[in-house]
Structure formats: C-alpha cells, structure tokens
Amino acid sequence: METYDVVVVGGGPAGLSGAIALARSRRSVLVVDAGNPRNAPAEGAHNLLGREGVPPRELLATGRDELASYGGHVRHTEAIGARRTDDGFVVTLADGPGSSREVASRGLLVTSGLVDELPDVPGLAERWGHEVLHCPFCHGWEVRDQRIGVLSTGPMTTHQALLFGQLSDRVVVLAHTAPPSAEDRASLDAMGVEVVDGRVTEVVGEDGGPLGGVRLADGTVVGLDAVVVASRLVAASPVLADLGLEAVDHPSGAGVHYPSEMAGSTSVPLLRLAGNVTDLMAQVGASAAAGMMAGAALHGELIQADLAARLAARAEAVATR
C-alpha cells in the first residue's frame, strides 16, 4: 500500500494550497481529485489578487505544476471512503468500474468543496456560471448595467437584489415560489427594485445563444440579460462520513457543511478541513488561504506526534537500562 505523510482529498484552491505548504516542508503528499471543480462553468475567477479573471481550470493546472515542483503528487480519481488506523488513515480510491484501491497516510486534509443545488426551473442549470449567477462579488461586474432578475426562492432574495442593485438600475425580483414580505417589498421599492409576481416556468433563449429572459406561468416573458439565484450549498463527503463527522445545517440557512475549528481542526486528530466543505461562503482566495493554514497546522501536528514518540522512546530506553 502506498503511504504518504498526508493525503489531501480535493484538488481545488484549498487542497492545492495546503498540499504545497506541506510539500515545501518536505512532507510526502498525495492530492486526490475527481476533476470536477465547482467553478468550472465560470469564465474567470475574480477578487484573486494578481490573477484577476484567470480561467478556473488554468489556475488549478498552474497549482498542480507548482505542487509537482516540490515533489507532490496528484491522482485524478474520487475518494470514496476512509477509515482510522493505529498509524493514521487509509483512504479508499475509485479505481475503475467496480474496483477500488487504498492509500495510507498519517494525516488527512479534506477540501472536497460543495455542490450547488439549483431551483428546478428548466434552462437554469444549462446557463449556470454564465447568465445564471449567484454572487455579486464573483460575477456582478460582468453584468453591470444589464437587465438582472433575482429569482426569489427564500430569505436571501432581498439581500441579493440590493447588492446587485449597486451594479445596475435595471434589477427586478421574480417572486416565483417565495414572494417578498411587505417589509421586504418596502425596502425593494425604496431602492427602485420592481417585484414581478408569478411563478417562473422556464428560462428562455436559443441554445448556444444569449439569454432572452424568463417565462412566467401566465405566459408572460420577462426580458433579462442575467438571472440571479440562491443555490442551496451542500457539502457531502463519504470520507468524512466514514470517519464519523456529520454535515449539519449552516447557521446562515444557506445549506449544510462540516463544522471545523481554528485552521480547520476537527474532533479527529490529524484530520483537518478547508475550503467550501467547511466554509460555504469562501471564495477562491479565502479557500486558498484556509488550505494553506490547514496544511501548515497539520505539518505542526505531525511534528508534535513525532516529538512525543521520540520522547516516549527515550524515556523507555532510560527505564530499561
């Protein structure tokens, strides 16, 4: 069985940053990545100092090259389970249809991210990351001054509408399945945001062409250049489930995550988390920073474990003289 100091589950900004921090400290590191980054549909990553607008897959390719330059390894597969051992962890990897293999490590860093669950509206998922958006900081500049519709499915609607209202004076709220309250309508009206009542039945626009708008249940088409949605953010990891960690509701109500403490520490020794698997709101830069801190802290934990083992061995040797 292959053995590493640390296995990193997830090869996004958090995982690669943590792996590089470890490899630069001469730790043997394996990154396991299924190759489906959450932000793959986006044309560029933003608010990332020095790499503004870099295509997401290009950023990750650069990160993998940097990791390789320090002796780190990447395996393009899925981590499907894990178990504790006396020496650390054994992680189960998918290895082709119906088969698997195992790798061992002393420490484990899980950065497997999350999945965006979108409202069930035909045409929405196909335009996700382009004309269908969720974050004004990630994509707002790209749709400034355009016709923007905020699809109301929960309590985030007014917040999103006000944020996007800073970027365009042509923002409308689509009441859909969660019509704004009287208080929210007053706030929206004060900021010049119209509320369009009626359920949205589909996103309209020619295949491969620009967004045309949305169709309501009564057949009315509301012309739009972008649709804003609040996706449900779901972190789910078979690795963490096997190790006894449970995904819980996030305090914001935005979805479910795995809680962690400082530098991604958990109740399991030498198991740390970073990125969206624990912090649902973290953007690329924040995830990378959290991954680096978690990797550095895990390196420190390994040093302390080595020190404790050496002191115990020395004490035993003195006792048996």
Indicate whether 11 and 89 sit together in one domain.
Answer: yes
Range of the domain at 296: 2-115+232-319
Give the residue from 212, 228, 244 where a domain finishes: 228
Indicate whether 104 and 237 sit together in one domain.
Answer: yes
The count of structural domains within the chain is 2
Helix (H), strand (E) at residue 105: strand 100-110
Give the residue from 201, 228, 255 where a domain finishes: 228
- CATH label of the domain that carries residue 241: 3.50.50.60
pLDDT per position in the chain (321 positions), as tens? 899 999 999 999 999 999 999 999 999 999 999 999 999 999 999 999 999 999 999 999 999 999 999 999 999 999 999 999 999 999 999 988 889 999 999 999 999 999 999 999 999 999 999 999 999 999 999 999 999 999 999 888 999 999 999 999 999 999 999 999 999 999 999 999 999 999 999 999 988 889 999 999 999 999 999 999 999 999 999 999 999 999 999 998 999 999 999 999 999 999 999 999 999 999 999 999 999 999 999 999 999 999 999 999 999 999 988
In whole angstroms, what is the distance from residue 125 CA to residue 201 CA? Answer: 13
Give the residue from 163, 194, 228 where a domain finishes: 228
**Cα-Cα-Cα-Cα dihedral of 152, 182, 165, 151, to 10°?**
10
Indicate whether 224 and 259 sit together in one domain.
Answer: no
pLDDT score at 321: 80
pLDDT score at 20: 98
Closest CA to 36 of 107, 84, 94, 102: 94
pLDDT score at 113: 96
